[in-house]
Amino acid sequence: MNISKTPVLSVDQLTVRRGQQLALQAVSFSLEAGTDVAIIGPNGAGKSTLVQSILGIVSREQGTVQLLGQPLSTKKALPAAVRHQVAYLPQNFLVDRRLPLTVTELVALGWDKLGIQLPWAKAKARKLAVQQALARVEASHLGRKFISELSGGETKRILLAYCLVRSRQLLILDEAPAGLDVRSEADFYQLLYELKAEQGWTILQVSHDLDMVRKHCDRVICLNRRLMCQGVPETALAPENLTATYGPEFVRYRHNRHAC
């Protein structure tokens, strides 16, 4: 596999305000192709704000964001060719339960917007891509179900199929396994990392699971409104860095928990 030397994502001096409150201050980092980078920090640290600002959902006050080499404008949408290379899995997938959207239709949204009249060949290619994506996550039997009928674990699996239906370079996950039990979360991560190896995905993920981060991630960004530290897990998750990011009570709690 040829790995480009151009960062998949570059963030430089990103500053964001939520109303009058400074949510992020001068945050800078980059993602190399094929890596898995975790953002960690306490509640209210700006982790979700950072992700949403990268995606253009939240406006930034200062700083620049480049995605696949293309600058992200605050006034203009990314070109479709770049936008289609990114998939976003939010912490909570909220849906109006009255919406009669099937699993197949949801996964097809990963290919293009519903309602677009495609030429026969492209429509056939989309249908095949949806079938293959559902089969890969072992969810073909769910295709005709309405998304409101899915369990939490099924929903996360379908969202991975959504990511698979079109070739992607970057997956952004905001605590994607939130709400799952221990077994379902383990199954989610096993499938995620199988797909990462197959697809060559670059991953940026917000996580509270420091044990998962230590086991799977290549780099860690410690965030508490500003960048506290970044580096490989062995360095970033050292007690002094966790103390600076979370506070001493958090580190004592983790020490006592692992001692039990």
pLDDT digits (tens, 9 = 90+) for 6-37: 899 999 999 999 888 999 999 999 999 999 99
> Do 64 and 172 reside in the same domain of the chain?
yes
> In angstroms, rounded to a whole number, what is the distance separating the alpha carbons of residues 196 and 83?
19
Q: Which residue has the tokens 């109303």?
A: 19
* Residue 205: its H or E element: strand 202-206
Residue 202: which CATH number?
3.40.50.300
- The answer, yes or no, to whether residue 178 has pLDDT greater than 80, is yes
At residue 254, φ and ψ (nearest 5 deg) are -65, -40
Residue-averaged pLDDT of the chain: 88
What is the reported pLDDT for 260?
Answer: 45
What is the reported pLDDT for 74?
Answer: 73
> Do 147 and 178 reside in the same domain of the chain?
no
> Do 45 and 110 reside in the same domain of the chain?
no
Q: Between residues 70 and 113, which one has the greater pLDDT?
A: 70
At residue 172, φ and ψ (nearest 5 deg) are -115, 120
> Do 173 and 162 reside in the same domain of the chain?
no
> Do 78 and 184 reside in the same domain of the chain?
yes
Per cent of the chain over pLDDT 70 is 89
Nearby residues of 171 by Cβ (< 8 Å), 6 or more positions away: 86, 87, 88, 89, 163, 196, 201, 202, 203, 204, 205
Spatial strand order of the sheet with 62-67 comes to 21-31, 9-18, 62-67, 70-71
Q: How does strand 9-18 pair with strand 21-31?
A: antiparallel
Provide the residue range defining the domain that includes 114. Answer: 95-166
> Do 160 and 174 reside in the same domain of the chain?
no
- The answer, yes or no, to whether residue 249 has pLDDT greater than 90, is no
| 90 in any annotated domain | no
Mean pLDDT of all residues in 145-149: 91
Number of domains, the chain: 2
Per cent of the chain over pLDDT 90 is 65
Long-range contacts of 245-253 (CB under 8 A, 24+ apart): 245/40, 245/41, 245/42, 245/45, 246/41, 246/42, 247/42, 250/42
Extract the tokens encoding 82. Answer: 């770049």
Domain boundary among 166, 193, 224: 166
Answer for the pair 69, 113: CB distance below 8 angstroms, yes or no. Answer: no
> Do 248 and 130 reside in the same domain of the chain?
no
